[in-house]
């Protein structure tokens, strides 16, 4: 499986008074990593186009996050995103948030594919499933 990289800097607004990244920011960074992965594997289609043209929404079903060590103000971090498992209407995405070679956190994110009109589960399109490979 391919691994996708998304780099970001830890800004003042990401931190508490001590310069340590607030725990919820890891969820935002992971979301950005998944969005950029989707842009790379599905070029020419934004998430809004998937909804409006293909009636496809990708929604978070569950997240398990393990914090290992904190990120600090001005750190450059990398979000590594890769497919861990794919099912009929959902998949699990493994995301590692790194500072250089240091693992800051691991997220296991289960996303479901649903029809934007009916709000019911929908089979993962073949081209998206193939792009994960």
Domain boundaries, the chain: 3-132
Residues 6+ positions from 100 with CB-CB distance below 8 Å: none
- d(C-alpha 26, C-alpha 127), whole Å: 29
- d(C-alpha 111, C-alpha 89), whole Å: 9
- d(C-alpha 105, C-alpha 69), whole Å: 7
What pLDDT is stored for residue 71 in this prediction?
Answer: 98
- d(C-alpha 57, C-alpha 52), whole Å: 9
Q: Are 101 and 36 in contact (CB under 8 A)?
A: no
User: What percentage of the chain carries pLDDT values higher than 70?
Assistant: 100
For residue 105, is pLDDT > 90? yes
User: Which of 66, 47, 16 is CA-nearest to residue 113?
Assistant: 47
Q: Are 68 and 106 in contact (CB under 8 A)?
A: yes
User: Which of 87, 117, 104 is CA-nearest to residue 33?
Assistant: 104
For residue 1, is pLDDT > 80? no
14 catalytic? Reply is no
User: What percentage of the chain carries pLDDT values higher than 90?
Assistant: 78
Each residue's pLDDT tens digit, 117-133: 999 999 998 888 888 77
- What average pLDDT does the chain have? 93
For residue 25, is pLDDT > 80? yes
Catalytic member of 14, 16, 101, 115: 16
- What homologous superfamily is domain 3-132 in, according to CATH? Hotdog Thioesterase (3.10.129.10)
What pLDDT is stored for residue 109 in this prediction?
Answer: 98
Banded model confidence at residue 48, pLDDT cuts 50, 70, 90: confident
What pLDDT is stored for residue 113 in this prediction?
Answer: 95
Each residue's pLDDT tens digit, 50-75: 888 889 999 999 999 999 999 999 99
């Amino acid at each position: 499986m391919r691994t996708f990289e998304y780099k970001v800097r830890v800004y003042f607004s990401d931190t508490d008074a001590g310069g340590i990244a607030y725990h919820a920011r890891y969820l935002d960074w992971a979301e950005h990593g998944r969005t950029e992965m989707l842009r790379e594997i599905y070029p020419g289609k934004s998430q809004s186009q998937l909804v409006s043209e293909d009636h496809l929404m990708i929604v978070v079903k569950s997240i398990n996050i393990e914090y290992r060590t904190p990120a600090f103000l001005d750190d450059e971090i990398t979000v590594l995103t890769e497919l861990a498992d794919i099912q009929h209407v959902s998949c699990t995405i493994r995301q590692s948030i790194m500072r250089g070679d240091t693992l800051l956190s691991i997220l296991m994110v289960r996303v479901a594919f649903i029809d934007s009109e009916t709000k019911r589960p929908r089979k993962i399109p073949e081209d998206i499933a193939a792009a994960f490979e």
